[in-house]
Amino acid sequence: MLNKLKSILKFFSDPKLLLFMGSGLIVSVAYIDPGNWGTDISGGADFNYNLLWVVWLACGMAMLFQYLSGKLGIAGYSLPELVKKKLKKKWLVLSYWVSAEIAILATDLAEFLGIIVALNLLFGIPLLWGT
């Protein structure tokens, strides 16, 4: 029993497996968050099957991102390392970084506004106080 447990732990502690699983796990968790599920359910309730193609497209994009992030992990790189290696010019790297930060801020703003609206709906807290 102990040897079997050791072999299982050895399998899951393989650095190449961890590199592959780590980045793919991050992408999958980011794609299946509660806000995404809520949006999907409300969209389905409003539009029935008319927007089913969007779900198929989004799932395909999520699979592509998981595949690409897994390849990055196995290669031993991170996305910022590859951007710096490929773009080479400092102004291109900085512009890529700024655009990534703007995208992160836009995503966080949507989550923040969702929390404020939820506090208002659930507890009657005014929107200005919720901020």
Distance CA 119, CA 126 (A): 8
Query: In the predicted model, is pLDDT for residue 49 greater than 80?
Result: no
Q: What does the block give as tokens for 128? A: 């200005």
Query: What does the pLDDT read at residue 106?
Result: 84
Task: State which amino acid sits at residue 62.
Answer: A
Query: What does the pLDDT read at residue 5?
Result: 67
Query: What does the pLDDT read at residue 98?
Result: 93
Domain boundaries along the sequence of the chain: 1-75, 78-131
Q: What does the block give as tokens for 88? A: 């080479």
Query: In the predicted model, is pLDDT for residue 14 greater than 90?
Result: no
| pLDDT tens digits, 15-47 | 766 666 666 666 666 666 666 667 777 777 788
Q: Specify whether the CB–CB gap between 93 and 87 falls below 8 A.
A: yes
**Greater pLDDT, 38 or 64:** 64
Beta-carbon contacts of residue 62 (< 8 Å; ≥ 6 apart): 27, 28, 31
Q: What does the block give as tokens for 19? A: 């590199």
Query: What does the pLDDT read at residue 45?
Result: 78
Query: What does the pLDDT read at residue 32?
Result: 63
| pLDDT tens digits, 66-113 | 788 778 877 788 888 888 888 889 999 999 999 989 988 887 887 788
Distance CA 74, CA 72 (A): 6
